[in-house]
Every structure is written in C-alpha cells, then in structure tokens.
Amino acid sequence: MSRGVLVTGGSRGIGAAIAAAFAREGDHVAVHASAPSDHALATLAALPGTGHQLVFADLQDPEQVRAMVDEAATALGRIDVLVNNAGVFFAHPVGETDYESWQQAWQATLGVNLIGAANVTWCALQHMPDEGRIVNVGSRGAFRGEPRSPAYGASKAALVAFGQSLAKDLGPRRIAVTTLAPGFVETDMAASELIGEKGVVRRAESPYNRVANVGEVAEAVLYLASPQAEWASGAVLDFNGASYLRM
C-alpha cells in the first residue's frame, strides 16, 4: 500500500534523493521547497510513479507552513510519513561576527532548522494516521560542536531532544519518531568543500577516506520510516562513517 510522504527541503541534494527513494517504493511524495525553482521542477519531474506534488513555504513563516502542509495533505490524501530534512547553515564564529549578523544567523537558523521543523510537525500530525513515521534529519554537529556555526549545532541538538519528546508522546499512537545524524555528505551545495586540499582533509575524517553520498542517506531514512523501525522510536542513528564517534 502506497503512503503519503512529505519531505521538507526536498528540491535538491539529500532531500531530492529521499523523495526519489520513497517514490521508487511506490509512495506518493510531496516535495517541499522554499520557493519555485528549476531544481524543484526537475526533482518533481524525475520522480517515478504518479501522484506527486510540489509545495512551497518559507519555514520561518508559521502561516505559510500551515498552508503548505494542508496542501500536501490534500494532494496526498494523508501524511503517513514526515521527513524534516530542510536546513540552513550560516558561518558566524563568535569572534569574527558583528552583533547584528550574529542575531540574524541565530534567528534564521533556528527559524528553519528547529522552529520550522516543529511547526511542520504539528501541522503534519493533524493529517497523520496511527502508525505514521517522523524522521528528523539532524547532524553529527549536534554532538561534536560547530565552532563556525554554533546556531547550526544548537539547532540540530535541539532537534534531537524535540524528536525524543515526540517519541514519548506519540508512542501510544504507534507513531515512531527518529533522528538521522549524518556527517559530511557529497552534494552540489557542498562541492566547494571537497575540492583540493580541503577535500582531502574532509574525506580523511573517516577511516573509509570518503564522505557519504545522498543515496546512502536516503536509504537510511527509508528504513527509519519503515514499519520495521517502530522499535527504533526515540533513537538517533549516527551516520558518518566513523568520522565522529560518541558513547
């Protein structure tokens, strides 16, 4: 039986790979993007199967979020799976950032990565049946620290706590909530970090001497959203090729 799946930040990179993975399983996917773009249209057009939808919202705007989720639910019939993938990253090291820029970085990062995800989740739950799935895409930065983007690290750590709180609350409905915490992933947006000496250093963080590809991340999300993953509710899956280890 096909499911209705909403993927935020689904127009490119990791999100596009996640959307494609669900579509290949026969699910109907609502691909969220912040605004119309060629990337978003191309992602939608490339999805196998039918019944997919492109939806738009600035996740910092609560009313846009509500309208976007309602539109997705109408198109899909219901939302069985929510993947909170959308995220932003701004460099703002405390010793190099003026106060105005510091505030802007925190407001924008938390507005999308945490509060936006929380609002999408609330709205999606109005359309989610029992035994649904919520997968939050976090980061190893939640645990290792992000000195050049402290707001990003803080937002991803808070996303873990948010997911665990929901796992407790939604367990009686058999809605499982999990967090995937990737390390560095090879995407178009990250390409500059993988060129030359920077790329050598980045790949050497893992004993496999590489970074993840988007397909690997998508397959991990697919598992966490599966019926078999119910007992993983509340868990965080580190997915970084042993580039960062924690107890």
As a whole number of angstroms, the distance between CA 156 and CA 159 comes to 5
**Can you tell me which residue has the tokens 């699910």?**
27
Number of residues that this document lists for the chain: 247
> Which residue out of 152, 208, 223, 244 is catalytically annotated?
152
Tens-digit pLDDT profile for residues 133-153:
999 999 999 999 999 999 999
Measured CA to CA in angstroms, residue 215 lies from 5, 6, 17 at distances of 17, 18, 6
What integer pLDDT is reported at residue 113 of this predicted model?
98
Smallest Cα–Cα separation from 19: which of 201, 214, 229? 214
Smallest Cα–Cα separation from 6: which of 122, 108, 88, 89? 122
What integer pLDDT is reported at residue 198 of this predicted model?
87
* The token pair that represents 58 in the structure block: 């600035």
Task: Tell me the whole-structure pTM to 2 decimals.
Answer: 0.97
Spell out the domains of the chain, with CATH numbers in brackets: 4-239 (3.40.50.720)
Exposed e or buried b per residue across 201-238, where buried means at least 16 C-beta atoms within 10 angstroms of its C-beta:
ebbebbeeebbbebebbbebbbebbeeebeebbbbbbb
What integer pLDDT is reported at residue 147 of this predicted model?
96
What integer pLDDT is reported at residue 120 of this predicted model?
99
As a whole number of angstroms, the distance between CA 54 and CA 62 comes to 18
**Ranges of the chain with pLDDT below 50:** none
> Active site includes 208?
no
